Structure 1
Amino acid sequence: MEASKVIHAIYNDDDILMSAVKKVKAAKYHIDEVYTPFPVHGLDKAMGLAPTRIAIAAFLYGLVGLTVATVMMNFIMIEDWPQNIGGKPSFSYLENMPAFVPIMFELTVFFSAHLMVITFYLRSRMWPFKEAENPDPRTTDDHFLMEISVNGNEEALQSLLSETGAVEINLIDKAH
């Protein structure tokens, strides 16, 4: 098992963290990960992460929900068990579609939301009973941690991080 060294720089304010991320990226260091107790707006752009494609997946999942709703209502209310409800004709889906709009909307939102959550958990590899990968429990409360790999530049990196306002800097041996 090969071990490598990483530096954990801990911050106690999200604004200081954002400024530090920008300074570290400007100095051409690669930030492996940032752990925060809450989402920090703009952190993904400051780190240079690629934009997410979850919105495209949500649209496709919504289309699946709309299709399921349309096929389901056509089968149930028109083909399998036609009923005269409130004087509406039961021989044509298109004539009944205004009455079906709330169901179409609800199933579109239902499928989109639930499949999007499942996709997020699978892409993030966050399945049930998974061990937490959080290196410091304080980052679930009120601290922010920036993890940077060390490649023979330990002193320069530590001095840069201390200039950015880190309250604590630790050198950690991390197993791959």
Structure 2
Amino acid sequence: MSSKVIQAMYTDDDVLMSAVKRVRQENHHIEEVYTPFPVHGLDKAMGLEPTRLAITAFMYGCVGLSVAISMMYFIMIVDWPQNIGGKPSFSFLENMPAFVPIMFEMTVFFAAHLMVITFYMRSKLWPFKEAENPDPRTTDDHFLMEVSVHGDEEVLKALLLETGATEIKVTEKH
């Protein structure tokens, strides 16, 4: 099923921000906004929900910490205990100060690497994926807002022109 979207091109991020607020105020649905750089506050202006990536980062860090503790306990206490520098080799708690850097590094390692994988999976950025950018100028110095057409197309075009759009194009979205 395909539907019509209007692509409005802007040349300034402040104009884009006020346009997004005005379009949302008029109860139109913004499909996507393409920008060459992150625009602060755009997600809130579009009405997007907050991301849950921080929660997943915490969970991945907990997994890394668990793996580090299990690995160190098995290697240094159970499997191959060694007397290194006079430290007792039979107690995990007595060796804890020596294990803290390893636990920290494994926590960061797991959180960082699993977050990258999660980001790529969530945003569907697979190797050799074709770009979905509708206009190559949005990677340089232009901003594009896609608004779905529900109702009178001409009224929506007039609204977008009022908000400062430099170009307007109607396309079919698949």
How high is the TM-score relative to the length of structure 1?
0.95
Per mean C-alpha deviation after superposition, the further-off stretch among 144-153 and 59-68 is 144-153
Q: How does 1:65-76 map to 2 (within 5 A)?
A: 65-76=64-75
In the other structure, the counterpart of 2:166 is 167
Number of residues of Structure 1 aligned to a counterpart in Structure 2: 174
Structure 2's unaligned 5+ residue stretches are none
Deviations 1:37-65 (CA, angstroms, capped at 9, x unpaired): 11111111100011111111111100000
In the other structure, the counterpart of 1:95 is 94
In the other structure, the counterpart of 2:133 is 134
List 4+ stretches of structure 1 deviating above 3 A.
Answer: none
Give secondary structure in 2 for the equivalent of 1:93: coil
Amino-acid identity (%): 76
Deviations 1:132-153 (CA, angstroms, capped at 9, x unpaired): 1110011111111000112332
Across the aligned residues of Structure 1 and Structure 2, the Cα RMSD in angstroms comes to 1.1
In the alignment, the residues of structure 2 paired with residue 151 and residue 63 of structure 1 have an alpha-carbon distance, to the nearest angstrom, of 46
**What letter corresponds to residue 76 of structure 1 in structure 2?**
I
Give secondary structure in 2 for the equivalent of 1:94: coil
Structure 1's unaligned 5+ residue stretches are none
In the alignment, the residues of structure 2 paired with residue 85 and residue 143 of structure 1 have an alpha-carbon distance, to the nearest angstrom, of 61
How high is the TM-score relative to the length of structure 2?
0.96
In the alignment, the residues of structure 2 paired with residue 109 and residue 45 of structure 1 have an alpha-carbon distance, to the nearest angstrom, of 29
**What letter corresponds to residue 31 of structure 1 in structure 2?**
I
In the other structure, the counterpart of 1:84 is 83
Give secondary structure in 2 for the equivalent of 1:95: coil
